[in-house]
């Protein structure tokens, strides 16, 4: 959760588990990571609070029609959002004494909150809408602060910020590289056989290879 602390997960050092959904590009082989692009197109719909995983699941094909079918679209849910855990839910509640799951209680609380907000409308829908929206925003802020105070240093709210999410994106790309290269190395070793001298092949300069390669680079499309 905190990149300044060791990366071994424990009660004193919880981890964030990032939810990912991929829309593979054309001509991919599921059991051959080396058939995938050097770098995926990492996307998030913004918001903040939008789910990149759901966005990719529903709109991945549409995005490929724009950027090209050769791109692997990889959507992620930022910290606290969607299927990423732990979830930043200001309406979260412990299990009650009657055995009702706290997640269900939180879900009902959120539905009630959304239903009452429907009657308030947008800022200019009435002469009292602005003050009501302001009061509702302050109420949610108090709920979030109460949960943050309860969780203390392990509160996801304290680490759901731009620097940490950017670092998560870098970690995703690094994990992608390791996944692809493990297959590339295995395939190269399997195919390596002694060969006699053959016709020479045209060599590509290291400078040109470096320009063409996107390996290890963040290719990102953000929406807001």
pLDDT tops 70 at residue 204: no
Average pLDDT (153-175) is: 92
Among 7-16, 74-83, 161-170, 215-224, name the one with the lowest average pLDDT: 7-16
101 or 63, greater pLDDT: 63
Instruction: Report DSSP letters for 51-103, one per residue.
Output: -HHHHHHHHHHHHHHHH-TTSPEEEEPPTBSTTSBSB--TT-----TT---HH
Q: Which neighbouring-strand residues pair with 220?
A: 42
Average pLDDT (78-100) is: 84
Structure confidence by residue, pLDDT tens digits, 22-52: 999 998 988 889 899 999 999 988 878 899 9
pLDDT tops 80 at residue 73: yes
DSSP label at residue 15: P
Q: Which neighbouring-strand residues pair with 76?
A: 20
Cα gap 34→159, rounded to integer Å = 34
Residue 215's pLDDT is 83
Cα gap 191→37, rounded to integer Å = 21
Average pLDDT (108-137) is: 90
Going from N- to C-terminal start, the domains of the chain cover 1-87+160-183+214-224, 102-157
56 or 12, greater pLDDT: 56
Choose from 106-110, 128-132, 191-195 the range with maximum mean pLDDT: 128-132
pLDDT tops 50 at residue 21: yes
pLDDT over 70, % of the chain: 81
Average pLDDT (129-154) is: 92
């Amino acid at each position: 959760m905190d990149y300044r602390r060791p990366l071994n997960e424990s009660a004193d050092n919880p981890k964030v588990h990032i939810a990912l959904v991929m829309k593979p590009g054309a001509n991919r082989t599921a059991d051959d990571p080396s058939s995938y692009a050097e770098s995926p197109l990492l996307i998030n719909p913004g918001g903040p609070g939008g789910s990149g995983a759901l966005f990719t699941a529903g709109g991945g094909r549409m995005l490929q029609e724009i950027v090209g079918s050769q791109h692997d679209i990889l959507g992620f849910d930022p910290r606290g959002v969607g299927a990423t855990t732990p979830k930043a839910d200001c309406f979260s509640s412990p299990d009650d004494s009657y055995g009702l799951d706290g997640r269900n209680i939180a879900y009902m609380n959120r539905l009630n909150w959304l239903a009452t907000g429907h009657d308030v409308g947008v800022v200019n829908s009435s002469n009292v809408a602005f003050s009501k929206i302001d009061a509702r925003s302050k109420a949610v802020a108090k709920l979030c602060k109460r949960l943050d105070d309860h969780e203390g240093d392990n509160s996801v709210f304290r680490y759901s910020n731009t620097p940490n999410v950017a670092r998560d994106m870098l970690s995703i790309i690094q994990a992608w590289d390791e996944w692809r290269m493990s297959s590339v190395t295995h395939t190269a070793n399997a195919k390596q056989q002694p060969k006699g001298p053959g016709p020479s092949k045209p060599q590509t300069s290291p400078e040109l290879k470096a320009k063409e390669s996107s390996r290890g680079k963040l290719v990102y499309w953000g929406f807001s």
